[in-house]
Structure 1
Amino acid sequence: MTRIVAGVAGGRRLSVPGQGTRPTSERVREALFSSLESRMELGGAAVLDLFAGSGALGLEALSRGASSAVLVESDARAAAVVRKNIDSVGLPGASVRCAPVASVLAGAADTAYDLVLADPPYAVTDSAVAGLLDRLVTGGWLAPDAVVVLERSSRSPETEWPTGLVPEKSKKYGESRIEIAARS
């Protein structure tokens, strides 16, 4: 079990899908959202949570004031857990898309998002991640002042951000590294 760290749903417990997922720890989410709140207004933000897993990142954003969050998860069992977590937390504005992230991003953007949270499995290759980041920029998925957060293994090389995204911060937390870039 994990929980929402802060905001209107702070302290609410979340189920996790189990094997095959690696939920972002509460400590990392707390540090990440403190950093985000110091650089952007989460209130009213449209959020895209890619590789949602339990939905903890997208639901944390909603708890802290985001107006909407689309949580994309390819695994049907994990997507069912995300739906359960949405129901148990009771925050409006969340929706789940059960589809591969690459397929979702290959389609037309339904909106331009203010915040994109991407926590791909560590097994996803760097070139696949680069392609997804490029598609965020070229596919109309990002609002003019959008922020993109990427969680990767601390052992993987620093991300080479595509033109249109400027790296702002990179910090290691144990086995994870959080990287933040902004739309340029």
Structure 2
Amino acid sequence: MTRIIAGDAGSLPLVVPSAGTRPTSERVRESLFGALDAGDLLAGAAVLDLYAGSGALGLEAVSRGAASADLVERAPRAASVIDRNVRAVGPSLPGRRLTVHRSAADTFLRAGGPAFDLVFVDPPYDMTDAEVSATLGLLVPRLTPAATVVVERATRSGEPLLPDGLVVDRSKKYGDTTLWWLARSGQPSTASQSE
């Protein structure tokens, strides 16, 4: 069973799509959110959960004090599951905004909008490095200056190819899964240099 681990909605169960997604294990989520809590990266944060699956990462962040979560999922069945989870968890999180976007990640990012403090990027493992890099490139303009981006990939994939504007802060391996922590580089992108 997947559940919210801690915070205002702690222990509430979450529905997981029956196929087509790869939920982040509870062990990985516990470690990830322990580190986010220790770094004081959750309180009041605007969170973006790309390739949200069940929405577990974004919902866990809001349960632990984030102000909002935008949950982006293209697959219709998974987006319906996220809607159910938001309805189940939302009443425990008064005053915090939970928004489900039925959209491809790149389409959502291209549309523009507010900037985010914390972003979870958990693309399907069969996405190529080039595709993940392109998505990260679209993400850069949607990040606050001190934003943290956490990318979940298969350990065998190695370090993700990063676009201008992002650097690896650290990584942590959990068996066949690795979390890559990315930060803004503070350097102007190639596009802005050439304009």
> Cα deviations across residues 37-68 of structure 1 (Å, max 9, x unaligned)?
22233111000000000000000000010000
Matches within 5 A, 1:88-127: 88-90=88-90, 91=93, 92-108=96-112, 110-127=113-130
The root-mean-square deviation of aligned C-alpha atoms, in Å, is 1.1
Are the structure 2 counterparts of residues 40 and 160 from structure 1 closer, same or farther at C-alpha, using a change threshold of 3 Å? farther
Choose 1 or 2 for highest CA Rg.
2
- Structure 2 distance, partners of 1:147, 1:161, is 14
SS at match of 2:157: coil
> Cα deviations across residues 43-102 of structure 1 (Å, max 9, x unaligned)?
110000000000000000000100000000001110010010011112331110001111
2:160 matches 1:159:
yes
TM, length-normalised to structure 1: 0.95
Structure 2 unaligned spans of 5+? 186-195
- Structure 2 distance, partners of 1:40, 1:114, is 12
SS at match of 1:8: coil
Partner of 2:193: none
TM-aligned CA deviation for residue 165 of structure 1:
1.5
TM-aligned CA deviation for residue 122 of structure 1:
0.4
- Structure 1 distance, partners of 2:130, 2:161, is 10
- Structure 1 distance, partners of 2:40, 2:166, is 16
SS at match of 1:66: coil
- Structure 2 distance, partners of 1:34, 1:161, is 25
SS at match of 2:70: strand
SS at match of 1:53: coil
- Structure 2 distance, partners of 1:182, 1:73, is 23
Question: How many percent of aligned residue pairs carry the same amino acid?
Answer: 54
Partner of 1:174: 175
Match for 2:115: what amino acid? A
- Structure 2 distance, partners of 1:161, 1:131, is 9
Matches within 5 A, 1:1-184: 1-90=1-90, 91=93, 92-108=96-112, 110-137=113-140, 140-184=141-185
Structure 1 unaligned spans of 5+? none
Deviates more, 1:44-53 or 1:157-166: 157-166
SS at match of 1:155: helix
TM, length-normalised to structure 2: 0.89
Match for 2:81: what amino acid? V
Match for 1:145: what amino acid? A
Q: How many residues align?
A: 181
- Structure 1 distance, partners of 2:173, 2:153, is 9
Match for 2:104: what amino acid? P
